[in-house]
Amino acid sequence: MAGLGVLGLTAVFVLLRLSTVTDHVYSAFVKDPERHIPLGQVMVAPADGTVLYVRRVRDGVIPEIVKRGVAVPVDYHLRAQPQRAVRDGYLIGIYMNTQGVHINRVPLAGELVQQTVYNGPHLDMTRAETRIILGQLIPGWVSLKKFLGLAPYAIEDDADYILKSARETLAIRDARGGYIYVTRIADYYVGRILTWVREGQRLATGEKLGMITWGSQTDVLIEASPTLKITVDVGDYVYAGESTLATY
């Protein structure tokens, strides 16, 4: 009987600490395939997943990030104060599905100068994920909608998480003096966003920076430069540390 009592107390403790326990168990068994980091002047994807949007940022404003005609200030999306005003740039959103690889990687070598955590609500992304997956199952559907000038993924009514969910934003200053912001957005089922780097640390392109358990979304905001060229489009599937997002 004493043994059963101990087991019962252990079970209660595990349930109370479920998010922490699942994070550690998940980390131990998570998919972590080897990645071949491309050489040259490239920025790589920070996450595995589907490119949900590529938005041009002007004067610190992101156009139509969720609903058409609704502009969003950069700092509101990042939930962090940019190192300097973002006059021109690109925001790329990568949806990480539940079954994919959840390791995040550094998009471009540089110094991590700021880490900002926003402890907002954890909104459920399940309906949005369902719409994204169903859209991908129909051959040519995404291309057709883009050709017709329609949003490739009709998730406007299910995408409140993009602006409201808890998140962490990392600001990286590269060798050119430019800034890249990696924003990891939490899902309802995310126990914790795990971060393995710290402020002041020098980071290498493709280096592991952390992980998000059970699927989520990772956005990257890139400051524009005269030689910057975005090389991905909505609907592309990218691989963290390996797929090129942009050249510069």
- 100 and 25 fall within a common domain: no
pLDDT score of 226: 92
- 12 and 105 fall within a common domain: no
- 17 and 108 fall within a common domain: no
- 40 and 84 fall within a common domain: yes
Task: Share the mean pLDDT of the chain.
Answer: 86
User: Buried (b) or exposed (e) across 131-155, using 16+ Cβ within 10 A?
Assistant: bbeebbeeeeebeebeeeeeebbeb
User: What is the average pLDDT across 88-92?
Assistant: 96
Residue 227 has pLDDT above 90, yes or no: yes
Of 84-98, 133-147, 193-207, where does mean pLDDT reach its minimum? 133-147
pLDDT score of 6: 60
pLDDT score of 132: 78
Q: Please state the domain count of the chain.
A: 2
pLDDT (tens digit per residue) in 138-172: 777 778 877 777 777 777 777 889 999 999 999 99
Q: What is the DSSP letter of 162?
A: H
- 71 and 146 fall within a common domain: yes
pLDDT (tens digit per residue) in 32-75: 899 999 999 999 999 999 999 999 999 999 988 877 778 899 99
- 83 and 68 fall within a common domain: yes
- 130 and 208 fall within a common domain: yes
Residue 25 has pLDDT above 60, yes or no: no
Q: What is the DSSP letter of 113?
A: E
Residue 30 has pLDDT above 90, yes or no: no
- 66 and 186 fall within a common domain: yes
Taking the CB of residue 105, how many other CB atoms lie within 10 A of it?
A: 27
- 21 and 126 fall within a common domain: no
- Using pLDDT thresholds of 50, 70 and 90, give the confidence band for residue 10: low
C-alpha distance from residue 114 to each of 192, 193, 222, 241 (Å)? 19, 16, 15, 21
- 76 and 175 fall within a common domain: yes
- 22 and 49 fall within a common domain: no
Residue 24 belongs to domain spanning: 1-30
CATH number, domain with residue 130: 2.70.70.10
- 16 and 53 fall within a common domain: no
Residue 229 has pLDDT above 70, yes or no: yes
pLDDT score of 124: 86
pTM recorded for the entire structure: 0.84
Q: Which of 101, 161, 105 is nearest to 131 (CA)?
A: 161
